[in-house]
Amino acid sequence: MSQWIKDAPSFKQPMKFKAPSFSRDGLYSIRRPIRGTGENSMSEDKGKTYLAYLASSHFVIHVYTFLLPVLLLPFQDELGISLVQLTLLSSIPKLLNVIIYIPAGVISDRYPSKTLTASFAVTVIGALIVPMSSGFMSLLLGFIMLSIGSTLYHPPSLKMASEFSTTKVTTAMGIHNMGSSLGFAAGPLLLSIFMARSTWRHSYYVWAVLTVLMTFMTYRYTRGTLKGAVTDRSFNVFSGIRDIMTHDFLIVVAISSLVEAMFMILVTFVPAYFTIEMGLSYSLTSFISGIMPLTGLAGSFLGGYSGDRFGVYKTGIFTMAALAALLALFPLMNTLVLAAAVYGLYRCLQAAFMPILNGMITGHSSRENRSLAFSFNFVLVNLLGSISTTGIGYIIENRGTPVIFPVSIALIVPVIGLLVWLQRRSKLANK
């Protein structure tokens, strides 16, 4: 249960707020200001430009995310890299991020604008190293830089989304997540075009140019927008961690870790499943991997809206149950059309759960340590994600790619149980 927002904005006119209340999920919320008293809601203060920046910046940071899964087999053929080495390209950057996530969260709580700008500058470096690589080590360095850029970006941007409105948290999170869905789609789609006509390397150069532009845009926009967010408080990591370490927050982190491990397994190996089990070409696999995340646009919006409308726990339980059903059906689909349809629905539900998850983290953390809360969550997410992708790589070598589906369902079961538990606790807290 989150604390009262300590850093309330100041207004020239007297403020008259209704009493604070708890949402339907037991998460702390503040009612809208009373009309006719000169007050503006936080959503009205932030405006559409604020949401547009969140969506567009999230788009740019995630155009690189699904390039590696599509390039696993081309890397193996062109550069002679083993399957285990390929999984290390994903797991090693995540393990290194475990070290920098907490400091990044603390720094971004204090200097959000500089952290966001640095995230895109580091991403540009990675986007240039990867296409110039000729072996495993240079590829690894490039993907490490891309991963660090994503690590620096997410804590301050998620905090920005959480502060768009006190009454529309998951809606703002959903719009923020719509940008990532577009990025997930655009990256593989452009890659499929270049793989069919020239080389995969050219797609990275195109995105590097766009990332340079976003670096300058971020610097110009956020240095003014987030100026008031810069604080002079000391770097006290342990005090911040103690503040966020509540029982319910740790349950949310456990949910997040299990869900992200499942997502990482599927994102990494579903393209290989299409190529190996269904006999699709690399370019067609890249096209499918690119077009299907577009369903996440609808999923992100519906997940965000449903979280505010029906509650994050109820929406989360329904989403996870539907995901389990789709994953049970996936290996039974023996035609490309059916498999692609089920995959598209899966990507829609995956996107729908992200604003729900981020809304739960927001609801169980204080404003002054919210970036740190997201960073702490990312630490465990990356730790479990790196272990799960490497471990499943060994299992796939012995059992084949279809094993990813029962493993993913096994991860969903405890998630549903924890969501039910949190829902019951919130109902007791509201009595």
pLDDT in tens, 33-88: 333 333 333 444 467 888 899 999 999 999 998 888 788 878 888 888 877 788 78
Q: Are 122 and 145 in contact (CB under 8 A)?
A: yes
Q: Are 97 and 147 in contact (CB under 8 A)?
A: yes
What is the band of 94 on the pLDDT scale with cuts at 50, 70, 90? confident
Topology (CATH level 3) of domain 47-226+242-430:
Growth Hormone; Chain: A; (1.20.1250)
Tell me, yes or no, if the pTM score tops 0.85: no
> 188-203 burial, b for 16+ CB within 10 Å, e for fewer?
bbbbbbbbeeeebeeb
155-169, 190-204, 341-355: the lowest-pLDDT one: 155-169
* Domain spans, the chain: 47-226+242-430
CA distances from 112 to 52, 188, 372 (A): 17, 30, 12
17-26, 68-77, 209-218: the lowest-pLDDT one: 17-26
Residue with tokens 């969903």: 412
- DSSP string of 332-398? G--SHHHHHHHHHHHHHHHHHHHHHHHHHHHHTS-GGGHHHHHHHHHHHHHHHHHHHHHHHHHHHHH
40 φ/ψ angles, rounded to the nearest 5 degrees = -120, 140
What is the band of 152 on the pLDDT scale with cuts at 50, 70, 90? very high
CA distances from 377 to 27, 97, 258, 290, 360 (A): 18, 12, 11, 27, 11
**How far is it, in rounded angstroms, from Cα 110 to Cα 310?**
34
Asked if residue 172 has pLDDT above 60, the reply is yes
- DSSP string of 99-161? HHHHHHHHHHHH-HHHHHHHHHHHHHHHHHHGGG--SHHHHHHHHHHHHHHHHHHHHHHHHHH
**How far is it, in rounded angstroms, from Cα 237 to Cα 371?**
12
Structure-token pair, residue 205: 């150069």
Q: Give me the mean pLDDT over the 324-332 stretch.
A: 91
Q: What is the reported pLDDT for 40?
A: 39
What is the band of 22 on the pLDDT scale with cuts at 50, 70, 90? very low
Residues in CB range of 190: below 8 A, 6 or more apart? 63, 203, 206, 207, 290
Burial of 47 per CB tally in 10 Å (0-12, 13-18, 19+): exposed
Asked if residue 103 has pLDDT above 90, the reply is no
**Partner residues linked to 29 by β-bridges:** 21
Q: Give me the mean pLDDT over the 205-219 stretch.
A: 96
Handedness of CA 100, 106, 111, 112 (dihedral sign): positive
The half-sphere exposure of 13 on its side-chain side, counting CA atoms within 13 A, is 9
- DSSP string of 4-36? P-SSPPP-SSPP--PPPEE-TTS-EE-PPPPTT
What is the band of 272 on the pLDDT scale with cuts at 50, 70, 90? confident
